[in-house]
Structure formats: structure tokens, C-alpha cells
A and B are shown apart, each in its own frame.
Chain A
Amino acid sequence: MIIRGDEPEQLRLIRKLYKPGNYFMQGNEAVAYGALFAGCRFYAGYPITPSSEIAETMARELPKLGGYYLQMEDEIGSIAAMVGASWTGFKVMTATAGPGFSLMQENLGYAVMTETPLVLVDVQRSGPSTGQATKGAQGDFFQARWGTHGDHPIVAVSPTSGQDAFWETIRAFNIAEKLRTPVVVLFDGVLAHTREQIKIPDIEEVEIAYRKLPQNEEEARLPFGDPHGDGVPPMPLFGHGYFTHVTGSTHKENGLRDVYTPEVHDKLVRRIHRKIEKNREVYEKYEEHFTDDAEILVVSWGVSARPALGAVLRAREEGINVGLFVPKTVHPFPAERMRELGKRVRTILVAEMNLGQMIIEVERYVNDDVLLKGVNKIGGVPLTVEEILREIRGVA
């Protein structure tokens, strides 16, 4: 069985095509190159601003690497084709924005239930609905978490710069492969279209993970079992004679449908949750600045984390004891660390380009005696250093 993209031939092609060094490129291009370095060789998508350059870059680059770009008839078809391709051993990705992300939700749930690795980049744009279609935003925090129906875990990462987008996309693939699960990349229209210097490493410097494959017939016959006790079943790929049955309906370990036995549903859905909960070290990631002695804590994510850092640095110069906490994996939330930090500070400011979404998550982990305040901005223009600094001064 092969996972496409890990053949030595592929490394040779990557080396030949993408020389290490500094490039001037858009965040969207950085996402695409991250995917190519991670081994993505199948992309199915449908154009939507502000994500389209990811599709365009993949359409241009994938054939060079022997990979496949498919422009599907819509977003529903795109994620469906990805799931099909993933079961044949491809590492797969799509990119979209709000309306397309909404259309993908049903099959995102399907990917969770069938434990299909895939990476879904949502370049967040201003909504609701068509909103300010070309402008960036951070309004899909909860859509990523609860957009599809049912009890389900989800992993979502969120890059804070173009350079970070390159590495976070690779990390998203690695998480998807290690945990046999879909991973959402919550990017945004501002960083997607910002051109900046991005360093492309040598492929040797990149950690690349591959999904667990069955080691014997017995493991292959239980595509939804847990033979290793880590909650992650080996994935018997299609086309290898295992007669694997995959369904989004509640299924037993052998894949066959059983929607009537409560225990079967309970066991399956709880294992899928446990697989994410228990493997925190695979995906948990956050950044901290000056949190040791902070009395005020700024919590921010994605595009807003950059002006937030600017504001914290300036406030430090003014002698204000302020720190910054940036979850890089936003779902599941870095609850433990947030709780520790929440105990130490008196004020928390949550800076984001929406009317208050991550702040709801932060609130769950801080005590009542902490002053919690949102620094929010909508309208398609990112928060500035000045705007966040003003709020820090206001609570100092």
C-alpha cells in the first residue's frame, strides 16, 4: 500500500522545483506550498474569494509533481471527491471560504465519522452570507467547531502569518494523517492576500507524517477497530483486496452498519472523541510572549495575533505588565494552559476580527474575578496595533 507523495521520486521533484530560500509571496501561495511539501497530491475545489489563489497555485504546481488538480462542480462535490481520493491513499486538500465552508459541512461530518484524513482550508471572509466577499474576517471559529451536526470532535489550526501558514498547513496534514481525521485550517482573507517574505526550507527540514496502515489481515478487517489502544485505527486503503466497507452511518469495528444498537453508536462516537482528546500532544500548540509576569493577558489568534504582539511589545516599553497567549491549534482549545494563565492575571483582553467568538471559549477557563473584555472589529479591516494598545492602556 502506498501513500502518494512519499516516494523518493517525489523528494527529488520537490528539490528540483522549489529551491530553499526566501520568496516574496502571498499567504495563499504559502498554504499551497506547505501542502505540496507535506505530500498533498490531490486537490479538489471550487473557486471562491479570498481562497482562489490556493486553487490556482495547486492547479499550476500539482501536475509538475504528478499530482491531481480537480475543479469540481461545487464545494459539496469537492470534499466528496477528497474523501474518495483519501481512501485510495492520497493526501488531500481543498480550500474555500465562508459560503463554500457551509456547503462542505455535511461531508466534513462524514469525514469525521469515517475517519478520513483530509485538510480543509477555510480562508475566512466577512459574513454572514456573501457579506463583504473580498474582505478578511475571523467569523468562522464556531462554524469550524460546530458547523456539522451531531456529537463530534474537530481539530482546527490557525496560522498567524504567511510564513506560519506554510508550516501550519504541513502540521495540519501531519495531524490529519496521525489521527485519521479531517483537519480545518482557519486562515483569513487578510493574510491570504498579504505578500511578504516567506522562507522555503529544504524538504529534509520538514517533518512529514503518514497514516497508519494495517500490518496484517486481521487489522485490515477491522477498519474501525482500535488494535493499538490509541483510538486510531489503521486505514485499509481501497484497491488492495480487503473488501472494506465505509459508511457514514453508525458502524461496527468491521465497518458494517448497525444503527439500532445503542452500545455500537456509543462505543464508536466515544472512541472518535477519545482519539482526539487522548492525543493532545499530536496537535496542541500555542505561543506565549511575556506571560511569566503578566498581570494583563492578551489572547488572540490568526491574523489578529500579529497586531496583538505589536501592541504588547509597545505596552511593555511603557512599563505595562502585559503578556500574549496565541492558540495555534484553536480546536480543541488549549484549555489547561488557558486555565493556568487565567489564574495568574487580573485582566484578559481577547482580540479578534469578529464580534466575540474565541472569547466565549476563553471564558470557560477563567475565574469570575478576572476582567474579561473583547477587542473586536468587523468590516473587513484588521485590528491595528494602536487599537489594541489603546485597550491595554485602558485596563492597565
Chain B
Amino acid sequence: MAKKIYSTYPMVKYLRKEALPTALCPGCGGGTVLNAFANAIDSLKLDPKDLVVVSGIGCSAWIASPYFLADTLHTTHGRAIAFATGVKVGLPDKKVVVISGDGDLASIGGNHLLHAARRNIDITVILVNNFIYGMTGGQVAPTTPFGAKTTTSPYRNIEHPLQISETVAAAGASYVARWTTAHVYQLIESIKKALQVKGFSLVEVISQCPVQFGRRNRMKEPAEMLHWFLKNSVPVSKARNMSPEELEGKFVIGEFVNRERPEFITELNKLIDEVQEHFGLKE
């Protein structure tokens, strides 16, 4: 197939031009995530007017808020999902998407993540897992691999990383998938599915932060990090037959769950209907 050279970038129509260029470092995986998200929106032919994007605080939080041209709510650190919950109740017919980092969504915001999955509220969370707190200067995160170096684990990390996708799947989400920034097409497909699922959906994206994580862990170049992802990725189906020892340091990728469960806002509205019926309040 002939190689195409683009002199224009068609997805730019989804971006808030006055906010560009982005503040992300060159080579940051955040750009890939933004690109994948814009492609998913484009291929589903979703009108950005039917989208509300919510994010917390961190580099990854900036991916869609302010850069994506939709209603965007840039909230406090860790609380994006709780803010999004209120938005979804008010706008049940819109797609409410949270895009933020692993520190934001799984550390300080871990409680909201679990409970949104449990409620199975119809929002889509794109969680950018770069193993580190990028924005605050590369401190250890709940996702930092055992043994890795960060500014606050300068000798080595002695804590075990949280397996976010597995945890959220267990909490009750309707759809959970994990990919890396080296699996762009699969990532776009998963985001598309997540957006269409009626219920809580999580797409975890393992993403490179060459500046804070790579630099301290012998992967200065973004490409080195992408190679690391590719070399260590194991599909979910294969991982099921592997021992914990064999899985140590591996990235399990693919779809974890894709199931129908009663959705929160639907149930809430059903309840209101029943109550109004019961008390004879309907006209």
C-alpha cells in the first residue's frame, strides 16, 4: 500500500483551536489517546454537541479538557467521575465521557471509580495509565511497577501496582478493556464500543510518559516505551492460562468484560415513574 503523507489533520475539527498547541510533552502518549478518541467520535459520527467530557487534574486530564471541542468540565483532582455522575443525571441522552490519569482516577479518585462501576452508571471512562504522577514531577503512583524508580521511590518501588481493569470489572462495570498506545486501532474500536455500551465502561490505556517515567527507568525515548509495551503485552485469553509469576511485569490487554446489567440512570427514572404512578401524580 502506498504511503500517504498528510499535510492536513482532519481530526483538528474536533479540537479547541484557541487552546492549541497542547501542553503535553513531545512524545507523550496523551496525544495518541486524544487522536484515538477523536477518531472514535468521528467514526461513530457522534455530534460533539451530544458529548460532555469531564476530567480531573493531571497531564492526562488535559487531553480532552480543554483540547476537545465539546462541553468540558475540568474538575478537582480525583473527582471527575463524581462530577460526571451529576452531569449524566441531568443529561441522560448525552454521552458523558471522563478522560483522566491513573493517579487521578484510581488513587485519589479510586472510591468514585469503584462506586460508579458498582452503580453501573452510563458513563465512559478513558483512564490513561502512565505508571506515574506526570504533572507533579514523577512521583510514585498506585500503578507504578514493583521495583520501578520514581522521584518518591528513588531506590525502587516496594508497593504492588493496582490492576485497574480487573478491579473495575469485578466492581460491576458493563464494559472494560485495556490497551496500550501501541495498539491504536484496537484502542479506537474499544472506545467506540465503550461509548455505545449502556452502562459503566472503562477503557484503560497504558501510555508512555517518557519525560517522568521513561527517563528514570531506562526508556528515555517514546519509542523505547512503545517497544516495552509491545514486547510485554499478553492477550486476556492467553493470560487466563498463565500463572501469577508468569504474568509479573506483563500487560494484559483486550476486553475484560462486555455484558448487560441494569443501568443506574435508567433504573432511577424507572423508579421515579413508579413512584409518580403509585401516588397518582401522573396527568
Interfacial residues, chain A to chain B (CB-CB below 8 A): 4, 9, 12-13, 16-17, 42, 44, 63-64, 66-68, 70, 72-74, 76-78, 80-90, 92, 106-107, 110, 238-239, 241-249, 254, 256-257
B window 97-117: CB within 8 A of A: 111-112, 114-115
Q: Are the CB atoms of B281 and A246 closer together than 8 Å?
A: no
B204 CB, nearest partner CB in chain A, Å = 21
A residues less than 8 Å from B281 (CB atoms)? 13, 16-17, 64
Q: How many residues of B contact A (CB 8 A)?
A: 42
Q: Are the CB atoms of A86 and B66 closer together than 8 Å?
A: no
Q: Does B242 interact with chain A (Cβ within 8 Å)?
A: no
Q: Does B183 interact with chain A (Cβ within 8 Å)?
A: no
B residues less than 8 Å from A13 (CB atoms)? 281
A residues less than 8 Å from B279 (CB atoms)? 17, 64
Q: Are the CB atoms of A42 and B86 closer together than 8 Å?
A: yes
17 contacts across the A-B interface (CB closer than 8 A): A9-B283, A74-B111, A76-B78, A77-B79, A80-B82, A84-B54, A84-B82, A87-B86, A88-B86, A107-B76, A238-B52, A238-B73, A244-B71, A245-B65, A245-B74, A247-B74, A248-B74
CA distance A88 to B71 in the complex (A): 11
Interface SS of chain A:
mixed
B residues less than 8 Å from A80 (CB atoms)? 75-76, 79, 82-83, 85-86, 112
Given the known A-B contacts A81-B86, A256-B18, are A246 and B268 also in contact in the complex, defined by CB atoms under 8 Å?
Answer: no
Q: Are the CB atoms of A243 and B276 closer together than 8 Å?
A: no
CA distance A17 to B114 in the complex (A): 37
Most buried by B among A84, A85, A245: A84
A residues less than 8 Å from B76 (CB atoms)? 80, 106-107, 110, 248
Q: Are the CB atoms of B16 and A243 closer together than 8 Å?
A: yes
Interface string of B37-66 (1 = CB under 8 A from A): 000000000001100101000000000011
Q: Are the CB atoms of B71 and A238 closer together than 8 Å?
A: yes
Q: Are the CB atoms of B85 and A77 closer together than 8 Å?
A: yes
A246 touches which of B18, B74, B115, B276 (Cβ 8 Å): B74
Chain B, residue nearest A82 (CB): B86
Q: Does B91 interact with chain A (Cβ within 8 Å)?
A: yes
CA distance A330 to B91 in the complex (A): 35
A residues less than 8 Å from B75 (CB atoms)? 80, 83, 110, 248
Q: Does B140 interact with chain A (Cβ within 8 Å)?
A: no
CA distance A73 to B276 in the complex (A): 27
Q: Are the CB atoms of A66 and B276 closer together than 8 Å?
A: yes
CA distance A67 to B276 in the complex (A): 11
CA distance A89 to B52 in the complex (A): 14
Q: Are the CB atoms of B87 and A87 closer together than 8 Å?
A: yes
Given the known A-B contacts A64-B276, A90-B90, are A76 and B73 also in contact in the complex, defined by CB atoms under 8 Å?
Answer: no
CA distance A106 to B86 in the complex (A): 17
CA distance A242 to B275 in the complex (A): 35
CA distance A17 to B87 in the complex (A): 28
Most buried by A among B79, B89, B90, B114: B90
CA distance A369 to B19 in the complex (A): 58
B residues less than 8 Å from A73 (CB atoms)? 82, 111-112, 114-115
B residues less than 8 Å from A68 (CB atoms)? 89, 268, 272
A75 CB, nearest partner CB in chain B, Å = 10
A361 CB, nearest partner CB in chain B, Å = 29
A19 CB, nearest partner CB in chain B, Å = 14
Kindly list 16 other residue pairs between chains A and B, CB separation below 8 angstroms, not including A4-B90, A247-B66: A16-B281, A63-B271, A64-B276, A70-B85, A80-B76, A80-B79, A85-B89, A87-B71, A238-B71, A238-B87, A238-B94, A243-B72, A245-B65, A246-B72, A246-B74, A249-B74
B211 CB, nearest partner CB in chain A, Å = 20
B275 CB, nearest partner CB in chain A, Å = 4
Q: Are the CB atoms of B79 and A243 closer together than 8 Å?
A: no
CA distance A246 to B70 in the complex (A): 11
B residues less than 8 Å from A83 (CB atoms)? 75, 83, 86
Chain B, residue nearest A81 (CB): B86
B231 CB, nearest partner CB in chain A, Å = 38
B90 touches which of A9, A89, A257 (Cβ 8 Å): A89
Q: Are the CB atoms of B69 and A243 closer together than 8 Å?
A: yes
Q: Are the CB atoms of B112 and A239 closer together than 8 Å?
A: no
B59 CB, nearest partner CB in chain A, Å = 14
Chain A, residue nearest B62 (CB): A257
Q: Are the CB atoms of B70 and A63 closer together than 8 Å?
A: no
B73 touches which of A74, A87, A90, A92 (Cβ 8 Å): A87
B239 CB, nearest partner CB in chain A, Å = 30
Q: Are the CB atoms of B19 and A256 closer together than 8 Å?
A: yes
Q: Are the CB atoms of B83 and A81 closer together than 8 Å?
A: yes
Q: Are the CB atoms of B66 and A257 closer together than 8 Å?
A: yes
Q: Does B84 interact with chain A (Cβ within 8 Å)?
A: yes
B251 CB, nearest partner CB in chain A, Å = 29
Q: Are the CB atoms of B275 and A64 closer together than 8 Å?
A: yes
Q: Are the CB atoms of A88 and B275 closer together than 8 Å?
A: no
B residues less than 8 Å from A246 (CB atoms)? 72-74
A73 CB, nearest partner CB in chain B, Å = 4
A88 touches which of B18, B87, B115, B271 (Cβ 8 Å): B87
B126 CB, nearest partner CB in chain A, Å = 18
Q: Are the CB atoms of A84 and B74 closer together than 8 Å?
A: no
